[in-house]
Chain A
Amino acid sequence: MYDFSTIAELTAEAEKAGLPISSIVISREANESQKTYDEVVAQMRHSWHTMKDAIDKGINNPQKSVSGLTGGDAPKIYSMLNASAGKSYLGELACCACAGAVAVAEVSAGMGRIVACPTAGSCGIVPGALYAAHRYKIKNDEPIVRSLFTAAGFGMIIDEMACIAGAEGGCQAECGTAAAMAAAALTELAGGNPEAVAHAAALALKNLLGLACDPVAGLVEVPCIKRNGFIAVHALTASDMAISGIRSVIPPDEVVMAMKEIGDQLPLALKETAGGGLAATPTGRRLKEQIFGKQTE
């Protein structure tokens, strides 16, 4: 029976067993939930299909959000793959990751079906990054499904050691965790060993430390939707760094603890209260009034 409560423990378990991190996480989950290994994998397969459906929907059917504030950006950035391909700096794969992530976030804002990953606000990052890997590198769905367990393993640890909610730790906790999850999954898919996987997660999280949660009108739209697109690409960068041999100078668990500490220090105005940052800009306030009317404070 495998168990872990820190990144160091998870990597050590994997290395000792000579297995990828995904296997450790699947075994632990099967044991904890008293299901078979195959049942647990089947459940994740369903989640992956739900993610892909959301991407298809978001890329093909531009739709406004409930508030009317956002919508329709996923098809735009996706068009950079084809029509405007010559002008794209990112290139196809990264552009596809960005479009996929924005697509899922827009579907969520339009009251479509998504998989929280780890939250609804950050629901596009992991699917977008993995969708791009799937489309350009790993055609088979099964390794992708397995890599989602690797992502989950890091999310579980960060949730336990720190937090994953914007209201608690700012956006670094929400989108930062999603970035670490995506980077870990990508690195395992690219053939990185457990150490490289852990460092990809650390690098991704480290570079988002301090990120505020200041959504306009308190809605999960601005800056959240485009941020999903940016951070899917960010995860690709972290994976490439880790695969190339780059290591985080600060060990992964310490990066997580730093995130927690910064989260505790962040003022309430930057923790999903819509009291500061972008939400408190003149335009942010005007949009809020436009959506909810004057009387609501």
Chain B
Amino acid sequence: MHGVFDIVGPIMIGPSSSHTAGACRLGLMSRAILGSQPFTATIELVGSFAATYRGHGTDRAIIAGLLGMSPEDERLPHAFDIAQEMGLTYSFIPVRKSGVHPNTAIIRLTDKDGHTVRVEGASVGGGNIMITELDGFRLELSGTLPSIIIAHLDRPGVIANITHLIAEAGGNIASVRDIREKRGQTALVVIEMDDELPPVYVERIASSRHILTAFTVPKL
């Protein structure tokens, strides 16, 4: 059963929990995955997002999230002006794509140093979201728990080593999902934690053998 504050709540900027609050969260999550202030953003909108985004402020909500605002931030309606002040350029492209959730956004970001990410995710109702694809990897990331995302070479013992380091940090793992594209190549592991992992341990994971990148995504 949902909790009291899922029903009387969340506190949010209207008008729509899925098209505004959820959209903002998709932006926030994409920013967290990029790990820095985005400099350019290209956002493709699918389905109901594509059809009604202007009337629901979906576009402003996504930009607000990309700028680090939460769904209850009263600056959300002014996100376009704030983006200009902060030097974020963006474009929205309604697209047709089948086989995805009707409230889907595909967000491509670059930061000042040229880092890029491509995040695909959906607003699944009540302001909740699900990230379904990251840089071509399929995954499921809801932001209800802090997570660690690790790209690694698909070699024996890599996951064991990661979980060992997490145990050493005293962290409690809620779930582990390993996704690989092709056997023996790159794989992505998403670990949901009960609490956030201290940065030193994230760095230790990142600098371990066969690890390409490791970063944390906070609970939304």
Q: Which A residues are closer than 8 A to B by beta carbons?
A: 5, 25, 29, 32-33, 40, 43-44, 46-47, 50, 65-67, 69, 107-121, 123, 126, 148-149, 151-153, 155-157, 159-160, 164-165, 167, 181, 217-221, 291-292, 296-297
A118 touches B12 (CB 8 A): no
Chain B: CB-nearest residue to A221: B15
A112 touches B13 (CB 8 A): yes
A291 touches B55 (CB 8 A): yes
Q: Mark B1-27, 1 if CB is under 8 A from A, else 0.
A: 111111111111111110011000000
If A115-B8, A116-B9, A165-B126 touch, does A109 touch B15 (CB 8 Å cutoff)? yes
Q: Which residues of A contact B35 (CB under 8 A)?
A: none
A-B complex: 9 closest residue pairs judged by Cβ atoms: A108-B14, A155-B7, A111-B77, A67-B55, A152-B4, A29-B4, A219-B55, A152-B8, A120-B17
A19 to chain B minimum Cβ distance, whole angstroms, is 16
Q: Which residues of B contact A47 (CB under 8 A)?
A: 5, 8-9, 11
Q: Which residues of A contact B203 (CB under 8 A)?
A: none
If A217-B52, A218-B55 touch, does A118 touch B14 (CB 8 Å cutoff)? no
If A111-B77, A148-B8, A218-B48 touch, does A120 touch B55 (CB 8 Å cutoff)? no
Q: Which residues of A contact B54 (CB under 8 A)?
A: 66-67, 291-292
Q: Which B residues are closer than 8 A to A by beta carbons?
A: 1-17, 20-21, 48, 50-52, 54-57, 60, 72, 74, 76-77, 94, 125-127
Extra contacts besides A66-B15, A156-B3 (15): CB < 8 Å = A46-B11, A47-B5, A66-B57, A66-B77, A109-B14, A111-B15, A111-B76, A112-B13, A118-B7, A151-B8, A152-B7, A156-B2, A165-B126, A292-B54, A297-B51
Chain B: CB-nearest residue to A3: B1
Partner of A156, one of B7, B16, B60: B7
B141 to chain A minimum Cβ distance, whole angstroms, is 22
Chain A: CB-nearest residue to B5: A43
Number of A-B contacts (CB under 8 A): 141
If A117-B8, A120-B21, A218-B48 touch, does A160 touch B14 (CB 8 Å cutoff)? no
Contact residues of A: prevailing secondary structure: helix
Q: In whole angstroms, how far apart are the Cα atoms of A38 and B17 in the complex? A: 28
Q: In whole angstroms, how far apart are the Cα atoms of A117 and B76 in the complex? A: 20
A253 to chain B minimum Cβ distance, whole angstroms, is 15
Q: Which residues of B contact A165 (CB under 8 A)?
A: 125-126
Q: In whole angstroms, how far apart are the Cα atoms of A44 and B4 in the complex? A: 9
Q: Which residues of B contact A181 (CB under 8 A)?
A: 7
A37 to chain B minimum Cβ distance, whole angstroms, is 12
With most chain B CB atoms within 10 A of its CB, the pick from A108, A121, A165 is: A108
Chain B: CB-nearest residue to A185: B8
Q: In whole angstroms, how far apart are the Cα atoms of A45 and B1 in the complex? A: 22
Q: In whole angstroms, how far apart are the Cα atoms of A33 and B74 in the complex? A: 27
B4 touches A156 (CB 8 A): yes
A116 touches B15 (CB 8 A): no
Q: Which residues of B contact A121 (CB under 8 A)?
A: 15-16
If A47-B9, A66-B57, A115-B11 touch, does A218 touch B1 (CB 8 Å cutoff)? no
A141 to chain B minimum Cβ distance, whole angstroms, is 15
If A156-B1, A165-B126 touch, does A111 touch B7 (CB 8 Å cutoff)? no
Chain A: CB-nearest residue to B50: A296
A27 to chain B minimum Cβ distance, whole angstroms, is 11
Q: In whole angstroms, how far apart are the Cα atoms of A77 and B7 in the complex? A: 28
Partner of A219, one of B1, B11, B15: B15
Partner of A220, one of B7, B9, B15: B15
Q: Which residues of B contact A157 (CB under 8 A)?
A: 1
14 A-B pairs with CB atoms under 8 Å apart are A66-B15, A69-B55, A109-B14, A110-B15, A111-B76, A114-B13, A117-B7, A120-B16, A156-B6, A159-B2, A160-B1, A217-B52, A221-B15, A292-B52
